[in-house]
Amino acid sequence: MTRNWLLVSISSLLWGCAGAAPAPPHVTSTTAMPAAKAAERIVVGGSFLAAMPKGLTSFGSAVLNGDVFLVGGYGGEPHRYTAEGQSRDIWKLSRGTPGTWSKVDELPYGLQGLAVVAHGGELCRFGGNRVETSMRSVADAACWSTKTGAWRALPSLPKERSSLDATMIGSTVYLAGGWQVGSSEQSGEWATDILRMDLAARTPKWESIAAPIRTRAASVVAVGQKLYLMGGLGADKQPSRTVSIFDPATGTWSRGPDLPSDGFGMAAIANENTLVITTRDGAVSELRDGAWGALGTLTFPRMFHRLAWVGPSQLAAIGGITGMQTHGRTKLVEVLSLEKTGDVARVEIAFPGQAKNRQAIFVHEDFLYVFGGNTSLEQHDFAPGNFVDEGHRLHLPSLTWTRVGTYPQKRQSMQVAWVGSELLALGGFGHNGTAAVSFNEGYSFDPRTETWKPAQNLPAGRTQFGLATHEGQVYVFGGLNYDPARSGDAAFDHVTTNLVAKAPQGFGDLGAPLPGPRRAFGGVTLGDEYFIVGGMRESFKLVDDCLRYSFSSKQYRAMPCPQKTRLSARLVALDGKVYAASGNTRGSGGALETDRSIEVFDPKTSRWSLLTGDVGFDTHHANVATYRGRIVMASTQNDRGTMTLAFIGAGR
């Protein structure tokens, strides 16, 4: 599955030779947006539940009367634990879709690495880590009444324990895994037993049962009347895939099928018949008939998170972090249906930039970058001050914006594609001091330094064209060279000469011109072909045919078009298929209207089908990319100062 838009591993085409664009006039240093900016206006829809008020890991969680509760956790920098970073809060996600979070009470002090279960009308917590002058494990156990808000003490654990998990069989709670933190955060004594206690007993007490393995940051769940202890980090400090099954009726352990991937920081959930896990690679798996089967992937891979049932066949992934990074924890709560696929999940967040549309937007790893664009909501408002050069980066899991190096020019409609490890941006539209015209500049972006540098220019100005890469070469298809200095129709030069470039020769004629004028079309490379859908030709007429170009034979052949002719469609390739999204189509009255559907083309059968009829927001100027096996759409085309993001599953 590709993570990057048009990512192709090819040799570099990022030169600074004769004909290259001028050096950037300045570069803005990378600075984080104020925290409040990232937290403003998070509105969810589709299969996202309400975003967490604060990103957390290593918290306890339980479902009670349909409401999801979170207890404690850590929100600071990984492996730099502080008392300030530990949460004392108890949060509740109320029933309903998308529901709302509310703070309902507090712990007596901050805790992380604790375990929580629901019993009766109470939330019961066990153990955890507490930071005072240093981190230490605690033996505390207590239950909090959801009705009165009062705490009652339970018998303390026989020994301090943290990084543990808990589950219930009937009225008996089982604690498994964990350790007692040592003199440093990297040392400690792993627990050698599991503990159980009947919470309904008149005089509850702990009972110790020898465990077959030593592990922490593992998961324990009850499936029917049996206990499953899975994954974690072993006493050898290596991630574990081991599954151990305990039968309380016989007091015996048996070995289950190994996890499909390592289980350090995993999460698990179960009921009488179902056992589902999510591992830190994002995979979602179900144990059925004695073997693990794939159910899909999470939009955001997570570790040190929790799962909760939010419906008979729906589970929510809550909290966590994508890895030991410092960009932020995952705020979005995503729902995975065990029955259907192709869900659409949406979120609207504050956008720190000025541009409303036509930016260069692309995805790299866990980041969405936004450069340039036009500040007007009008279709043809090209006043000089409407073009911007601003650059912003969004960390998708935490929804945190950072200002990054500006685009070298104030431009809109630049075309971008990955060339090796850097991004190539070409052409676009802007103001030359006299009029709005097409430009020919080329720049490259290094995601490691987040800065731009000159790259090879196009031979002439070009906008609304297709940019593709294939086997070490860069291709430019169609487009428009607009310059009002040429009077009348001559201002609109619809370019049919396609270009090809390979370092260090520069751009030259491909020798395979388009069959006719075409701009503002959708195009994407898949295999040996470039797929071309829709667009506009001279006199503002739509192009109602679609093409497949073969890079090897330099030949075009006709292909079926989507249900309606699209203008400014965006195409992406995913898992061997082509997806068409965004743009406009002709309505029943002949006027252009936004098409909010996503259609999918299978090159093997040469047929289109509908993935979804409505992604749930205005996609007129939405950019489209791929992210971790999903389609992601991004748009700032509104007067609210926000960005809407949609994540669409392509199906399992």
Residue-level pLDDT at 97:
64
38 φ, ψ (degrees, to nearest 5): -70, -25
Q: How many residues does the chain have?
A: 652
Ranges of the chain whose pLDDT falls below 50:
1-39, 652
Distance of CA 440 to the CA centre of its chain: 33
CA distance 12 to 643: 32
CA distance 419 to 540: 33
Residue-level pLDDT at 343:
81
Percentage of residues of the chain with pLDDT beyond 70: 92
Residue-level pLDDT at 503:
62
- On the question of a common fold for 56-330 and 347-649, the answer reads yes
Q: Distances from the Cα of 438 to the Cαs of 19, 25, 381, 426, 485, in angstroms?
A: 17, 20, 15, 11, 12
* CATH number at 56-330: 2.120.10.80
Dmax of the chain from CA atoms? 94
Arch. (CATH architecture) of 347-649 = 6 Propeller (2.120)
Q: Which residue ranges make up each domain of the chain?
A: 56-330, 347-649
CA distance 250 to 27: 69
CA distance 413 to 462: 10
Q: How do residues 9-39 score in pLDDT, each as one tens digit?
A: 222 233 333 333 333 333 333 333 333 344 4
Indicate yes or no: pTM above 0.75: yes
**Dihedral sign for Cα atoms in the order 156, 161, 162, 164:** negative
Please, what is the Cα angle at 460 between 360 and 13, to 5 degrees? 60
What one-character DSSP code corresponds to residue 323? S
CA distance 356 to 376: 6
Distance of CA 506 to the CA centre of its chain: 36
Report the first-to-last Cα separation within the chain, whole angstroms. Answer: 12
CB 375 within 8 A of CB 388: yes
Which residue, among 248, 273, 268, 244, has the nearest Cα to 257 in the 3D structure?
244
Residue-level pLDDT at 25:
32
Assign 3-state DSSP to the chain and report helix, strand, coil percentages, each to 5: 0, 45, 50
Q: How do residues 101-121 score in pLDDT, each as one tens digit?
A: 999 999 999 999 999 999 999
Return the bridge partners of 445, or none: 423, 452
Q: Distances from the Cα of 241 to the Cαs of 113, 229, 237, 266, 298, in angstroms?
A: 20, 10, 13, 10, 20
CA distance 395 to 90: 26
